Amino acid sequence: MFGNWLKTSILMAAIVALFGTVGAAVGGGTGMLIALLFAAGMNIYTYWFSDKAVLKMYGAQEVMPVNNYGDGQFRNYYNMVKELAQNAELPMPKVYVINENQPNAFATGRNPENAAVAATTGIMQILTERELRGVMAHELAHVKNRDTLISTISASMAGAIASIAQFGMFFGGGTRDGERSSPIVGILIMFLAPMSASLIQMAISRGREFEADKMGAEISKDPKALASALEKIHNYAHKIPNETAEAHPETGQMMIINPLSSASFDSLFSTHPKTEERVRRLMVIANAS
């Protein structure tokens, strides 16, 4: 686990450094300072408000312990999350359901004390209770590892790097002597900087998914159930479009399986590892226990 956190820390440092480098190329030393201050302000905003924005975006409805959303049909789902949170030694997160046919689930929130987990009605229809339990354990692992904050920051910074690079291309960058940089340099920045930021962001996302699978298996004590769930979700998810995710592709990395219909599974730009590799690793854990 320490190795995964070290890798994530290095990648996060790399994306911050890239942010500053692009700012410097666009506006010299002043540009770098402005870029880093902008990044700090942006991350403070996402720290406090990203969870509410995402839940609202997907039309998530909170499941309450007594007067459940709907007619009590999600009571077992709520109690399942409660039990798993206790297993993981986590505060009880808020529990949401999303009226969406595509099977998927995600976790959000700035820390374990302000976390939320959400599952679609589609995932509840195709998974057994045991498999759903494995999925929610995976999402609680993200909460325990504070992955939701890491992924939000990395996605926000990658987007900001792309915006700054485009700004520099259209309005011209400056050197430290106040001279305009070469148009060729501007073109390179416009294309290479966002690409590099995306590569780093996706590498962070894939690493955190592997770690959440591992910890989720520990929380549920049932790695085979999570492996089976991943295979089912993978087979269904890309046959059923998720209009909200398609309109807001930056949220795709939050899901247990990439919800985008155009997702590439063997690309460096994929937010998720190959499902086959995730299943293989989980089965290794199952066979070792």
Which residues participate in catalysis according to the annotation? 139
Tokens of 98: 């999303």
Tokens of 83: 């039990």
Which DSSP letter does residue 59 get?
T
Task: Specify whether the CB–CB gap between 172 and 180 falls below 8 A.
Answer: yes
Q: For residues 270 and 278, what is the distance between their CA atoms, to the nearest angstrom? A: 14
Cβ burial 134-163 (10 Å sphere, 16+ → b, else e): bbbbbbbbbbbbebbbbbbbbbbbbbbbbe
Task: Specify whether the CB–CB gap between 193 and 20 falls below 8 A.
Answer: no
Helix, strand, coil percentages (3-state) for the chain, rounded to 5, are 70, 5, 25
Longest dimension (CA), the chain: 68
Say which residue the tokens 């291309």 belong to: 169
Residues 6 or more apart whose Cβ sits within 8 Å of residue 45: none
Tokens of 171: 């309005």
Tokens of 135: 């999925």
